[in-house]
Amino acid sequence: MGSIRDGTAKVLTLFHPHDGQVRVKGVESTTNAVLHSWLKGELTDILNTLPEVSSSQSQEMVQQIWQEWREGLSVTFTLPKQLPPLRMLLVWDNLNGHQTPELMVWLCEHGVLPLYTPLSGSWLNMTESIQRILKRRALDGQHPQTPQQIIERFEIVARVWNQNPTPFEWGGKRAARRQRARSKRQGHRLGGSGAVAQSLVA
């Protein structure tokens, strides 16, 4: 049985675990130019919705806050000598395209600190979980013929998801042990990772 390949569909994704909102854009190419342009636009849009930050912090305090979030990380980069107040954490994979000097400078200038998952540790990134969930909803039982059809289904499913999103919280073995010791509260595993959705049992 033969098959016809008419290109590749890829999904750029930003996910906010706390409220479950996801931002998705389907593309057929994920070059740095495509990825970085989309990412900067989305991050700028998100930053514009955040409360204004106090300008009274000393540069010493600002640097300390940035460094505290980097404590214990195996993948870091040199921070600029002058930094704005920290406004956002960006967790993503440890890929070369995510570490270009131009992008690092842009992120720092806008108060965004990138935190990289270890190599072969993509399961630590909750975006991987939400992508698997959206993929099942978009493609199970469907037979799209072109990359554009796949892209359209992903983007539609993401819009529907955002109408009633599911917040994620971090799970895993250690969290599960602490959780059982504290209460009867249980979590439903999401997308095959350490992320869970809250559920309460009487």
In the chain, residues under CATH classification 3.30.420.10 are 1-166
pLDDT in tens, 137-193: 998 888 888 889 999 999 999 999 999 999 987 765 555 655 665 554 455 655 555
Tell me yes or no: is domain 1-166 CATH 3.30.70.20: no
Cβ–Cβ under 8 Å, residues 76 and 108: no
pLDDT digits (tens, 9 = 90+) for 22-71: 999 999 988 999 999 999 999 999 999 998 877 788 999 999 999 999 88
Q: Which residues contact 156 (CB under 8 A, 6 or more apart)?
A: 138
Taking the CA atoms of residue 157, residue 39, residue 70 and residue 101 in that order, the dihedral angle to the nearest 10 degrees is: 150
Identify the burial level of 135 via C-beta atoms within 10 angstroms of its C-beta, where 0-12 means exposed, 13-18 middle and 19 or more buried.
Answer: middle
Cβ 42 vs Cβ 112: under 8 Å:
no
Task: From 184, 181, 165, select the one nearest 173 (Cα to Cα).
Answer: 181
